[in-house]
Each structure stands twice: as C-alpha cells, then as structure tokens.
Amino acid sequence: MKEVILFIFSTFFILSLNARPVDALSLVADAGAGSRVDVSRRIPVSQNNQQVKFRTIEKEFQSNRKERGILVIYDAAEWARAWNEIHANQTPQPALPPIDFSRSMVIIAFQGEKPTGGYEISIERITRVGNNLRVTLRDTRPGRNCEVTQALTSPYHIIETAKFNGKIISQKYNTVNQCLK
C-alpha cells in the first residue's frame, strides 16, 4: 500500500475533561506538484525541542465516541469515564489498564465517526517545545481505489506519557492510502 502525504495541515482541537488550558496550532498549506507550502504560523524549530517518549495503550477502529478531538486525562476518575465511554458497546468490556497518574497522563485522539473502514488516526510523536507539548497526529483516509468495510467506524489512539503541566498543542497532517487495483 503506497501512502501519499498530502501536506495538508489543519487544526485539531484538544479537549480536556477538566478544562485545562490547551491550544491548537493553526497551519495551512498548499499542496501539489512543485507547489510551495505557505504556513500561516510556525512553531520554532530549535535544538531545545525534546522528543517525549510514550506508549500505546490501545489503537482501534471502533469507539462509542463519535466526535473528533483529543482528550487529555490527568486522573483515574476521568480515565475510567473515558474508557467506559469508548467501550460502552462492548460486552464484556475490556479491563481498565492501570495508570500511575502521579507520574503519567493519558492522551486519546479520536478521528470521529467515519462512513466506512480504511480510516485511521495515529499519534506519531510528542515533542516538548519550550513550555508547550506538541502532539503530532496522522489522519489517514482511504483512496478512491481502496476496498473498505462498508460499516461505520470511529478510529482512536490512546497513549500514556509523562505528566506535563504546560499547554498542549496539536499538529495534524492528512494522508491518503492509494490502494492499487
């Protein structure tokens, strides 16, 4: 499967159950053969940017949550609420993975409800940029030639990372899977 990056950046909103201050990075780009990329706002790239480690807890294509967005979770009660919402339609419901919220936080990226299979959301990397944490997401959709499941899907990606008390910024890029016939 050949993956083509469209270089279309867009804002991906961050939501938090406990209303912590978050910010969304607004990037706009023009794509095409030999095109230029016109970015309206840039995050400075410097030697001080640090890659932040994270581990995937779960990445699936079916969630009970239909809205697009990012959820940042800082405590066990919020974690249990989010896990139960995601898995509300499953019987039996999978066990809640344990998280030490004194040292960690959970970030969940939701792609929202999609009309077919072939969609995917991925947290690609997390970078500390000054006093901010930048979460880079890859939003994938199927190309025209892809054979996909004809059922509603709702992709999501859940990760655990070190606790962070500053602003969290998201950056998303879109990709299209070009399936060969």
Asked if the model's pLDDT at residue 82 lies above 70, the reply is yes
pLDDT of residue 134: 94
Asked if the model's pLDDT at residue 24 lies above 60, the reply is no
CA dihedral 15, 151, 61, 5 (to 10 degrees): -80
Q: Give the phi and the psi of residue 82 in degrees, each rounded to 5.
A: -65, -45
Percent of the chain with pLDDT over 90: 60
For residue 156 the two structure tokens come to 């999501």
Asked if the model's pLDDT at residue 41 lies above 60, the reply is no
Q: Give the phi and the psi of residue 42 in degrees, each rounded to 5.
A: -120, 145
At 86-133, the pLDDT tens digits run 999 889 999 999 999 999 999 999 999 999 999 999 999 999 998 899
Residue 35: other Cβ atoms inside 10 A: 10
- Tell if the pTM clears 0.85, that is, is over it: no
Pick the more confident residue, 53 or 29: 53
Q: Give the separation between CA 84 and CA 57, rounded to whole angstroms.
A: 15
At 134-181, the pLDDT tens digits run 999 999 999 988 999 999 999 999 999 999 988 999 988 899 988 876
Distances in Å between the Cα of 39 and the Cα atoms of 35, 42, 73, 106 are 13, 7, 30, 30
